[in-house]
Each structure stands twice: as C-alpha cells, then as structure tokens.
Amino acid sequence: MNTALAVDPGTLDREKVGFFRYALVGEKVLLTNDAGEHLFLAPGDFRRFIAGQIGPDDALYEPLRRRYFFKHDFDAHALADKIRRKKAFLSHGPHLHAIVTSLRCNMSCKYCHASRTGMEAVDTDMPLDVARKAVDFAFRVHTPVLGFEFQGGEPTVNWPAIEFIVDYALEKNRYEKKELIFSVVTNLTFMTDEKVKFLLDRGVMICTSLDGPQDLHDQNRGMTGKGSSYAAVDEWMAKINAEYVRRGRDPDLFHVDALMTTTRASLSRGKDIVDEYMRRGLRSVHLRPLNPFGFAVNTWKLIGYSMPEFLEFYRRTLDYIIEQNRRGTFIQERMASVFLTKMLTPDEPNYSDCRSPCGSGSAQLAYSYDGNIYTDDEGRMAAHMGNDFFRIGHVDTSSVDEVLRHPTVKALAVASIQDALPACHSCAFKPSCGIQPLHNYMFDGDIFGQRPLSRKCQEFYGVQQHLYELLSRDADGSLERIFRRWTIQRSRPGTIPYVPPGEANA
C-alpha cells in the first residue's frame, strides 16, 4: 500500500462509506471488497469517496453503489449470495484424488519434484489391492464429483494399476452415480497405440510436460539413457490429437494438455516457449515457477532464481501472450486466468493452491504407492524428502472422517484463512488471492510463512499487481474483453468445468 494514500481516520465518513481495501496501482487507486468487486478511482476521486462527498448525482455514485462500496442503498441478500457463491467449494469434500501408481521413472529431470526412483525399483509400484482400497476410500468422500489423477514417477510404467483403477471405478460408479473424471500426467515415453485406445475409450484426459522448444525441453528434462524426451512428446501429442479428430472430437476441448516448469534457462526464452505452444495448437500455457520439492532442492543453485527474476520473466511473457491475442491467436496464461476469474466474474475456480482456506486435505488427497494418504501431492513429495508431517492416514487403517479431521488438515486450514493473517487481511488483492501453507513450510519451515516475504506471496502479489495495472490502463476495454475470454472454461461432455489435468495441484 502506498503511504501517500493512507486513509486518515479523521477524513473517513464511517456512516456512508462501506467496507473496502485499497492500493495504488499504476496511477489509480484500486478498491476491492469481499464480494470480489473492484473499481479504479483517480486519487482525487478516492479522497472524495472516503470523505463521503460522492452523492447520487455524481457519475461515480452508481458504479460504487453497484459494487457495494457504500454502507447503505444496496441489496444485502444479493451481497450475501455473491460471497456464498465465492465460497461454494466449502460445501463438499475432496474432489481430486491423486494416485501415485509408481515412483519409477526413466527420466532425470533437473527439477524433479516427485523424488522418483530408478526403473529397477519395482517395489515402488502400487499393488492392485492398494489401488482398490484407494478407490474405495475416494468413493466414501462426500462429493458429487470425483477426479482420479495418476501421478508418478512415470505412472504408466505400472500400467496394470491404471487399467484396474479406471475400470474398477467405472464399475463401482454404476451404483454410486458420481461424476467421474480421470487424467494421467505422463512423459509419454511409455505410450503405445493400445494404451491410447484404452485411455480415449474411457475418457481419460492426458497431460504431458512441455518446457518449450526441443533444446530447452531436453536440457530440463533429460533421459536417464540416450534419447530425447522431446521426441516422445512430439510424436505422441501429434498421434493422440489426430486420434481425437478421427473420433470426431472438438480439438479445442479434446487434446493432450501440457505443463511447463520455469528454470533459469527458461527466463530468456518466454517468446520461444509461447511460440512452441501455439505451434502445437495449445490454447493455454501455465508459466509455473520452480517448487522447493525433490531434486529441485539440490539443484537450486544451478536452475533456480529469485522471485523478482521470475516476475520479470512472467510480465514479459504475459505481455507477449496478450500481443498474440490482439493479433487474433487465442492463447491464455493459466495462472492469469485463475486470478482473472476471481477478479472479473462471480465464480471461484477452486484452484487448490490459491484459495482460502487452501485445498490441502479438503479439496484434494494424494495416495502414495504404499497406501499412505497425504494432504496433497506436494505433501507426498515432502514425505519422500524425509518429512512426514503431511501424512494424514493410510487406506488400510483410516476412516474418511479421521483423515478429513486430521490435526494437520486443520492446521493447514487455519494457516490459510486470510482474514486471520497479518498483511493478508488488509491486502487489496485478498479477494482474488489464496495461500498454500505447504509451500511456506518448505521454504521457511513455517506453515504460516512471513508475508510479504514468503516466495508464494511475492509470486501471487506480483502477478495480480501486473494484471490490475494492465486493466487500470485499459481505456477502451479491449484488454478486458481478451481477459474475460480467458475466464470462460468450456466443459468437456460429462465433466465439471474443464481444468487441465495437473493444474489443480501444480
């Protein structure tokens, strides 16, 4: 917050002015509130607003009234409905269930978060009896939508477990009548025509990793032996996408999704990365920073960077993405679309890492190959690094109630309720932001973190600040029209509003 704009309590008309948070964004003052509404004011108009000098005859009165910034003259029931809609995710239990079918992997990514094992470690494959118990456990959770996401290692090296889980869940759902979603996050190096047929026949979404052009991708994601991991991505993305078209599927909805991870080598390659995604017809790119898990901890000095360096990369690359949209090519940045959905629409995208309270243990659970249950996939990764704090149960011995009421789940919820956290409770970006305590813990050893010093806070604040600054300068509304298009998430037939696999806990 700019101290030059600090509100003098003596000038605030408490009888007229409703609740608001504020910040100086560019040359304008941003007002926000808990209904998710925002408005930009010139500094002079902001001072008139807080002094109660804006009346019904003023052109600014109606925009302020309509967004609930006055204490009177508004529909309290409509305001309550808006807030209730934003928090609707609290009505159900975990809908995302990440299942680690194996820790084995044939690649040696420099930033591997999963603490993978070598291909000889078959003891890290999930046995089928554990897979069955994981599915049974997930079905006992109170939620109308149930998503199974296969993680690794490389999950497809234990293909029998994937086959079993999908078919067992489909059979079980004949009686349970939930809405099922399946996805697999794979490097595609073990893909075959038979596996593709199985996945597409059963509606399993496929997501792979694509860090950019071949030289950058292979530099980040090397094979343990000879060969190019990019070659597998190139071959199987094309084959699978062609098969979707052959089956008459809309390619905008049915295609192989991709995730990228930003390393130091990526920082100067933003345009190249976006061009690679556009060349493949992908409509979304998620500019993901490195996370402090797995191998990335040991290789940080080689591949890591400061958050200011990442944000500079993000701003440059986002501006390039916007430029492509202005030229007629639709492509969105995934993190921006999450924030923009919160900023510009009445909806909450329920992105687990960016909500309050967070989704660890309440929106998602993760099942390791050995049956241990974790708050999320990151919690499982932390356990493989030697920290078992986020293990909350086991499929053999734990009930759903014991898992969801576990002290760790409660602690993570408390640590991510923004209204109770210093700096968060008064931040103008609070309505569109969220907290991931596990990230704070891995960086700072404290689930509460030290805002605004925590890395994740700096990331979220920096991204939102850039988005709001862009909107504050959008005189003709053309950018907002582009951004609103980014908030439209079309649903694949039979699914909830579409979220690319791997995104919910990326």
* DSSP code string of 465-502: HHHHHHHHT-TTSHHHHHHHHHT--PPPTTSSSP--TT
| AA identity, residue 399 | S
Reference 8, options 42, 49, 50; nearest CA is: 50
Domain count, the chain: 1
**pLDDT in the model for residue 157:** 97
- 390-414, pLDDT tens digit by residue? 999 999 999 999 999 999 999 999 9
Between CA 254 and CA 165 the distance in angstroms is: 22
Distances (CA, A) of 330 to 67, 274, 301, 323: 30, 12, 36, 10
Between CA 94 and CA 51 the distance in angstroms is: 46
Distances (CA, A) of 410 to 163, 318, 439: 34, 36, 16
Structural domain contains residue 62: yes
Cβ contact 110:263 at 8 Å: yes
Burial bucket for residue 6 (CB in 10 Å: 0-12, 13-18, 19+): exposed
Between CA 151 and CA 381 the distance in angstroms is: 11
Cβ contact 504:351 at 8 Å: yes
Structural domain contains residue 187: no
* DSSP code string of 115-157: --B-TT-GGGBPPHHHHHHHHHHHHTSS-SEEEEEEESSSGGG
Reference 439, options 419, 464, 459, 461; nearest CA is: 459
**pLDDT in the model for residue 505:** 40
- 29-73, pLDDT tens digit by residue? 999 999 999 999 999 999 999 999 999 999 999 999 999 999 988
| AA identity, residue 471 | L
- CB-based contacts of 347, cutoff 8 Å, min separation 6: 85, 86, 341, 487
Structural domain contains residue 333: no
Report the predicted TM-score, pTM, of the whole model to 2 decimal places.
0.92
CB count in 10 Å sphere of residue 446? 12
- Sheet of 257-261: strand order equals 287-288, 257-261, 204-209, 179-185, 145-151, 96-100, 364-367, 372-374, 391-394
Give the count of alpha carbons within 13 A of 294, CB side only.
21
Phi then psi for 172, rounded to 5 degrees?
Answer: -60, -35
Helix, strand, coil percentages, rounded to 5, for the chain: 45, 15, 40
Between CA 502 and CA 263 the distance in angstroms is: 18
CB count in 10 Å sphere of residue 397? 9
- 324-383, pLDDT tens digit by residue? 999 999 999 999 999 999 999 999 998 888 999 999 999 999 999 999 999 998 898 888
Distances (CA, A) of 461 to 143, 360, 413: 32, 21, 20
- CB-based contacts of 98, cutoff 8 Å, min separation 6: 149, 150, 151, 364, 365, 366, 367, 376, 377, 380, 505
Structural domain contains residue 79: yes
Structural domain contains residue 257: no
Structural domain contains residue 77: yes
Grouping H, G, I as helix, E, B as strand and the rest as coil, residue 200 is helix
What one-character DSSP code corresponds to residue 8?
P
Domain span at residue 82? 3-86
Residue keyed to tokens 């898992």: 403
What H or E segment, with its residue span, contains residue 235?
helix 229-246
Structure-token pair, residue 8: 């003098």
CB count in 10 Å sphere of residue 337? 20
Between CA 25 and CA 295 the distance in angstroms is: 38
Structure-token pair, residue 33: 């509130």
Residue keyed to tokens 């697999």: 184
Q: For the chain, which residues score pLDDT lower than 50?
A: 1, 3, 494-500, 504-506
Structural domain contains residue 116: no
Structure-token pair, residue 50: 């807080």
Structural domain contains residue 28: yes
Between CA 311 and CA 462 the distance in angstroms is: 7
